[in-house]
Amino acid sequence: MPLNVGLLGGGSWGTTVASLTARNANTTIWARNENTVNEINEHRTNSKYLPGALLNKNLKASASIEETVKNSDVLVMGIPSQNFRTVLETAKAHIRPWIPIVSLSKGLEMGTKKRMTEVIEEILPGHPTGVLTGPNLAKEIHNGQAAAAVIAMVDEVIGKKLQGVFNSGLFRVYTNNDVIGCELGGALKNIMAIATGMGDGANAGDNTRAALITRGLSELTRLGTAMGGRRRTFAGLAGMGDLVATCSSTKSRNRHVGFQLGKGKKLDEIIEEMSEVAEGVKTAKVVMELAQDYNVHMPISEEVYKVLYEDNTVHDAFRGLLKLESGSESEPG
């Protein structure tokens, strides 16, 4: 019998994943906006977030969290990190015992500094938790372009089972049991995407972008391993793969924020014009706290933070990085 998948979140990535799982499982997606729900059910589209994309005919949408999750064998959370806890607490009363809960979020919770799987474990202890992550730009996947992702679960048996739920045609899903590393890779690379976007917006050039990506990988690997992730995870799809895609693509929300900052726009103005959340903006605050907690040197993240929250300019950021003494490539900085 096919599994029942409940997915909370009707944004571009949540809708994309729901359309993919609908090929392999009975899938219901919840969205806050009733117009979005009606559009998915009646026209198989979500024009606000995925213009021109036709969703799988088996996908159903609901405006009721209870209806979406009460019969689910797997719950997928496609909710941005700062709203994740509230939505999960609302759903808690209707979630069946012990079912796996998978996060799509690539952020960290402000205040608690927790990863989303830690939030799940706090609210619903005993449920297997995991994350689906990797270099996944929703619009490309809907256009039929090949992509790869990672389903990370501590329990490898459950991970293998869920691999078959998400794997679909040209969307290839690999397994990994390093949940910490995979989750941190997805969250931390967003800050590096803002940095490379800033460089692109300021016409810094391809060499600068390559340097930021490479040194950014070193930076996120240092913090990720200090927090318990495995080094090789950051060289894979959840680390380097996601970093390259997010730092290079014009479809990346976080790179877009950086690009507009590089052009001289103010952060509030940029955010106001966007229809979706750029997770790296708020994650930058959490990462600075974590870097201090774990005594990890993160100069790129620090300069991004100063641009976002201390009124530094993009040129201040690059001057700050250039002032750093360049030592051995294997050392921090």
CATH code of the domain containing 63: 3.40.50.720
Q: For the beta carbon of residue 32, count every other beta carbon within 10 angstroms.
A: 13
User: Would 149 be classed as within a structural domain?
Assistant: yes
Q: How many CB atoms lie within 10 A of CB 329?
A: 9
**Whole-number Å distance between alpha carbons of 20 and 101:** 17
Question: Alpha helices, DSSP H only, in the chain?
Answer: 12-21, 34-43, 65-69, 81-91, 116-123, 138-142, 156-166, 179-201, 206-226, 242-248, 253-262, 267-273, 280-293, 299-309, 314-323
Asked if residue 286 belongs to a known ligand binding site, the reply is no
What's the mean pLDDT when you consider all of the chain?
A: 94
Residues 48 and 98 in one domain: yes
pLDDT confidence band for 139 (50 / 70 / 90): confident
Residue 279 is assigned to a ligand binding site? yes
191, 107 Cβ separation under 8 angstroms: no
Question: Each residue of 26-80: pLDDT tens digit?
Answer: 999 999 999 999 999 999 999 999 998 999 999 999 999 999 999 999 999 999 9
Out of 120, 149, 177, a domain closes at: 177
- Enter the pTM of the model: 0.94
Identify the DSSP state of 168.
Answer: B
Catalytic center residues: 189
| Neighbouring residues of 2: CB distance < 8 A, sequence distance ≥ 6 | 24, 25, 26
Q: What pLDDT score does 255 carry?
A: 96
Express each pLDDT in 176-221 by its tens digit: 999 999 999 999 999 999 999 999 999 999 999 999 999 999 999 9
Question: Angle at which helices 81-91 and 116-123 pack, to 10 degrees?
Answer: 20
Q: Is 333 within a domain?
A: no
Pairing of β 60-62 and β 74-77: unpaired
Same-domain status, 161 and 222: no
User: Do 197 and 248 share a structural domain?
Assistant: yes
Q: Is 106 annotated as a binding residue?
A: yes
Q: Is 98 flagged in the annotation as binding?
A: no
Identify the domain containing residue 235 by its residue range.
181-323
Cα 3 to Cα 9: distance, rounded to the nearest angstrom? 19
Domain assignment present for 163:
yes
Is 325 a residue whose pLDDT tops 60? no
Q: Percent of the chain scored above 70 by pLDDT?
A: 97
Residues 42, 84: one domain?
A: yes
CATH number, domain containing residue 194? 1.10.1040.10
Mean pLDDT, to the nearest integer, of 141-155?
92
Number of domains in the chain: 2
Describe the chain by its helix, strand, coil percentages, rounded to 5.
55, 10, 35
Per-residue model confidence as pLDDT tens digits over 274-309: 988 889 999 999 999 999 999 999 999 999 999 999
DSSP code for 5:
E
